[in-house]
Amino acid sequence: MADAARGAGMVFFCNPNNPTGTVHPADAVEDFVRRVKRTSPDTAILIDEAYV
């Protein structure tokens, strides 16, 4: 999924996922952020963890 961010202005990461309720562990979120920044350094990342 991080590879799909190439050239995007922003990616939105909702954790836990809505509507499935899937909770991603902190290390998976951190890995995703690292991969997006490496693949597309100008892409903003918005992480919604309101219910964590």
Cα-based distances in Å from 28 to 3, 23: 15, 10
| Tokens of residue 19, six digits | 């509507």
How many Å separate Cα 9 from the centre of its chain? 13
Per-residue pLDDT averaged across 9-26, rounded? 94
Coil, strand or helix: which one is 10?
strand
Q: Domain containing 19: what range? A: 2-48
Residue 42: pLDDT band (50, 70, 90) is very high
Number of domains in the chain: 1
What whole-number distance in Å separates Cα of residue 21 and Cα of residue 5? 23
pTM across the whole model: 0.83
Residue 52: pLDDT band (50, 70, 90) is confident
